[in-house]
Amino acid sequence: MPRTEEHILVIPAATIERLGAFEGFQSDVQRYLPAILASDELSFRPRSQMEQDPSFKQLIPYVVLQYEDRQRGTQVFAYTRGSGQGESRLHARRSIGIGGHISEEDAAGGSDPYRTGMHRELAEEVRLDSAFEESCVGLIYDPSNEVGTVHLGIVHRLILETPAVVANEEDICDTGFVGVEQLRGQRERLETWSQLCLDHLF
């Protein structure tokens, strides 16, 4: 039996526009996120179609892992995307965000698909052995490239008690906590969403 294509969570671009069109980093989470997640226009649609259809936006939790080091200051988990990572257009780029698509399977059993999908993606990509405080700090829409035109990023910040994070996937390479100033020096190597997070969160 052929493998069924993944269906992913999307929302019409028109819904976002009614809330207020924006580009780049949007920090007014309360204006957008509750309305998006409560919308009856959310749906699960075939991923291959959605990758080519900017009239829908794929919801992507994007989790930034942060640790406060007494000697070195703010440290941020960073990695390089390998060729096995799902979005081929981002391969070899540095990133400070962990996340991915919300799948239809994340709604199984009546669970909250967004929260379930966010934690599933985090657990798939890294092993996190630290307590943390979580906050949702912004949204990202970047139509300057073909990846950005079909995705809506929802940025979560996890402030960790200890820097106990290791990669769970071979294609998450060159991992480790990096100081903010060092990241700024590497800014041009970062994927666009990570550049926006670096600029607005730190």
- Residues forming a β-bridge with 160: 67, 132
Question: Rounded to an integer, what distance in angstroms lies between the CA atom of residue 36 and that of residue 16?
Answer: 8
Which residues 6+ apart lie within 8 Å of 148 measured at CB? 141, 142, 192, 193
For the chain, the average pLDDT equals 93
In this prediction, residue 82 carries a pLDDT of 78
DSSP H helical ranges for the chain: 13-20, 29-37, 47-50, 113-125, 180-185, 192-201
Task: Give 160-178 pLDDT, tens digit per residue.
Answer: 999 999 999 888 999 999 9
Name the residue among 149, 145, 147 with its Cα closest to residue 54: 149
DSSP 145-165: STTGGGEEEEEEEEEESS--E
Name the residue among 143, 161, 144 with its Cα closest to residue 152: 143
In this prediction, residue 136 carries a pLDDT of 98
In this prediction, residue 3 carries a pLDDT of 56
In this prediction, residue 103 carries a pLDDT of 97
CATH code, 7-201: 3.90.79.10
Scan for tokens 């390998």, then name that residue: 82
- Residues forming a β-bridge with 187: none
Amino acid at 66: Q
**Paired tokens of 148:** 């950005």
**Paired tokens of 23:** 């580009």
Domain ranges within the chain, ordered by starting residue? 7-201
Q: Which residues of the chain have pLDDT under 50?
A: 1-2, 84-85, 87-88, 90
Q: What are phi and psi of 201, to 5 degrees?
A: -100, -20
Q: What three-state secondary structure class fits 176?
A: strand
In this prediction, residue 29 carries a pLDDT of 98
Task: Give 38-76 pLDDT, tens digit per residue.
Answer: 999 999 999 999 999 999 999 999 999 999 999 999 999
Q: For residue 110, what is the DSSP state?
A: G
Measuring CA to CA, how many Å separate 10 from each of 64, 92, 199?
Answer: 22, 26, 27
**Ramachandran category for residue 168: left, alpha or beta (phi over 0 → left; psi -120 to 50 → alpha):** alpha
